[in-house]
Amino acid sequence: MKSKSGNSLRSVLAHILLIVLSFMCLFFFYILIINATRSHAELQKGFSALPGTHLLENLKNVANDGSFPMFRGIINSICISTSCAVLCTYFSALTAYGLYAYEFKTRKIAFTFIMAILVMPTQVTAMGFLRLITKMGLYDTWYPLIIPSIASPAVFYFMYSYLQSSLPLSLVEAARIDGSGEFRTFNCIVLPIMKPALAVQAIFTFVGSWNNYFVPALILQTKSKMTVPILIATLRGADYMNFDMGKVYMMITVAIVPIIVVYLLLSKYIIAGVTLGGVKE
């Protein structure tokens, strides 16, 4: 009897904790949407939990701002983020498959080298990377934002762990005996098995690229090529005297819509596959 009451108490406490955490996570999104419906004058008065009446006005102000290409920035972010997600997941899976399925002398050295790159911050190599792309004539282009996504140690490690737990090497050997080429084996047999891991990492890579501000801010100078985070920062510091906080909140609200859509469409893969590579059978 005591055990049942103890389990009920733990269940109630767990639900209360989950409700509090959910509220803390969603409260900021709620405030963001509420602020997007208020004017700059209303925002200066302070916090309000009730929506305003300037939603369409703020959206119109952002869309009609000639110095602020909102929709162009969203298209730019979608193109860059989608390209990064595709290249990152495919080549990381290919690299992980190469190190997992093939035995060669420098296999451990290659794995250690990739893991060593994982602990190196982006800020440390930023200046050298900037000088390199400038000399290559790639400054103020999308190429430095997309091509380096091919080499992603974190995604590689997730794919490698997933292969260890999900891909028997006997299946690869059977494909070779049947005359399947290596790339055909990878594309037609290995990739379908890795579908949950690919989906999860594609989502995370897409969101990470969408929210990336540091590297695009160093590389992109032309406004028509800028991504959403840079445009939001430009709007914030464009003109202090004509600064409209309602426009900033509206742009942030619009900027997170594609991310929310991606999560809603592919959330089942996050729930089903986020821990699949963590346990080796």
pLDDT for 241: 56
Q: Which token pair is 147?
A: 């091509």
pLDDT, tens digit (0-9, with 9 covering 90-100), for 59-94: 888 777 766 777 888 899 999 999 999 999 999 999
Residue 146 CB partners (closer than 8 Å, separation 6+): 80, 83, 84, 87
pLDDT for 230: 87
Residue 91 CB partners (closer than 8 Å, separation 6+): 150, 151
Angstrom distance (rounded) from CA 4 to CA 11: 10
What residue type is assigned to position 189 of the chain?
A: I
Q: Which token pair is 61?
A: 């102000």
Q: Give just the sign of the alpha carbon dihedral 158, 164, 169, 171.
A: negative
Nearest to 255 by CA among 40, 81, 64: 81
pTM across the whole model: 0.81
For domain 68-237, is the CATH number 3.40.50.2000?
no
Cα 102 to Cα 52, 97, 157, 173, 195: the distances in Å are: 61, 8, 16, 11, 21
pLDDT for 39: 85
pLDDT for 278: 46
Give ∠ CA 260-263-266 in degrees, rounded to 5.
150
pLDDT for 237: 57
pLDDT for 87: 95
The 3-state DSSP composition of the chain as helix, strand, coil percent (nearest 5) reads 75, 0, 25
pLDDT, tens digit (0-9, with 9 covering 90-100), for 239-268: 555 667 888 888 888 888 888 887 777 777
Is the separation of the CB atoms in 259 and 210 below 8 Å? yes
Residue 148 CB partners (closer than 8 Å, separation 6+): none
Q: Which token pair is 162?
A: 């997933």
DSSP letter assigned to residue 277: G
pLDDT < 50 positions in the chain = 277-281
pLDDT for 272: 61
Share of the chain above pLDDT 90, in %: 23
Instruction: Provide the H-helix boundaries in 37-168.
Output: 40-44, 55-63, 70-101, 107-118, 126-135, 143-146, 153-166
pLDDT for 6: 65
